[in-house]
């Protein structure tokens, strides 16, 4: 597996950044393995789904962030599960948690969002976990695109657990407007849900058209990422993308 570029700021002010999207199942599994996987991927931003939401959720998420070389940027219980972690390389311009309309009898959903800078690059960031219900999921994808469009930035990324495979109408709605980073520059493994057959890609990272995708995929085989840790950390596999974001 070819190596992915390291994070850096280019002479022209653009930035190479590493983004990890990861459903951590409320940290109910092996949290040490989870922290090791995140650390080995060396992300600048971690788009988390199913962060702890209830008793002492801030302390639990802070503990994971510290163990993996990150800090909490936004989200968690206040976004109904999605969260964003970052390294100190990021300069945070603003952050906001967004709760989505609640369907009676269904799980509350939300977005964790932020605008951050890396060197001369400015980028909007969104972490999401879409509904298990296809109609509600499709509506939420429209809210996601509206949210990105309203962030006041030229370049943006969104990542999360879509609960849908490529080819579904929600996935297609997103790829009609955004780059599917794995399809644009596949690297590593594809499938993020492997607990039963057939294996599926239901987690993804998307980027607006002006962002250059240098590679994206499940980091199986990445130095420091042990297969045993991937199995123990949570019930999803993470998605790692390396992007070059133009200067603002």
The token duo for 89 is: 């390389």
8-245 has which fold? Deoxyribonuclease I; Chain A (3.60.10)
For 39, counting Cβ atoms within 10 Å of its Cβ (0-12 exposed, 13-18 middle, 19+ buried), the class is: middle
Predicted confidence (pLDDT) per residue in 76-102, tens digit: 999 999 999 999 999 999 999 999 999
Domain ranges of the chain: 8-245
Predicted confidence (pLDDT) per residue in 143-156, tens digit: 999 999 999 999 99
Closest among 237, 221, 181, 226 to 24, alpha carbons compared:
237
The mean pLDDT of 64-80, rounded to a whole number, is: 98
**Other beta carbons within 10 Å of 10:** 15
Decide: 98 and 60 in contact? Cβ < 8 Å: no
With residue 116 as reference, give the H or E element that holds it: strand 110-118
DSSP alpha helices (H): ranges in the chain? 31-41, 57-67, 134-149, 169-177, 181-184, 227-233
Predicted confidence (pLDDT) per residue in 192-221, tens digit: 999 887 899 999 999 999 999 999 999 999
User: What's the rounded Cα separation, in Å, for the pair 111 and 147?
Assistant: 9
> What is the four-CA torsion angle of 154, 113, 165, 142, rounded to 10 degrees?
-70
Decide: 110 and 82 in contact? Cβ < 8 Å: yes
Q: What is the mean pLDDT of the chain?
A: 97
Quote the longest CA-to-CA distance of the chain. 52
Predicted confidence (pLDDT) per residue in 109-128, tens digit: 999 999 999 999 999 999 99
Return the pLDDT at 167: 95
Residue 73 has pLDDT above 80, yes or no: yes
């Amino acid at each position: 597996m070819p190596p992915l570029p390291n994070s850096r700021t280019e002479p022209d002010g653009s930035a190479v950044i590493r983004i990890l999207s990861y459903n951590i199942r409320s940290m109910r599994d092996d949290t040490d393995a989870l922290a090791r996987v995140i650390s080995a991927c060396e992300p600048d931003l971690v788009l988390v789904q199913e962060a702890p939401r209830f008793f002492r959720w801030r302390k639990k998420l802070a503990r994971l962030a510290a163990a993996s070389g990150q800090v909490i940027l936004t989200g968690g219980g206040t976004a109904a599960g999605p969260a964003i972690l970052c390294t100190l390389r990021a300069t945070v311009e603003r952050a906001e948690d967004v709760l989505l309309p609640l369907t009676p009898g269904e799980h509350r959903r939300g977005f964790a969002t932020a605008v951050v800078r890396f060197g001369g690059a400015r980028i909007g960031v969104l972490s999401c976990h879409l509904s298990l219900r296809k109609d509600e999921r499709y509506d939420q994808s429209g809210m996601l695109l509206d949210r990105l469009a309203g962030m006041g930035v030229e370049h943006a990324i969104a990542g999360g657990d879509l609960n849908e495979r490529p080819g579904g109408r929600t996935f297609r709605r997103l790829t009609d407007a955004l780059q599917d980073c794995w399809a644009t520059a596949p690297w590593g493994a594809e499938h993020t849900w492997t607990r039963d057959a057939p294996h599926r890609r239901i987690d993804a990272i998307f980027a607006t058209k002006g962002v250059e995708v240098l590679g994206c995929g499940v980091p199986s085989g990445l130095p420091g990422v042990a297969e045993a840790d991937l199995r123990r950390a949570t019930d999803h596999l993470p998605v790692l993308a390396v992007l070059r974001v133009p200067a603002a």
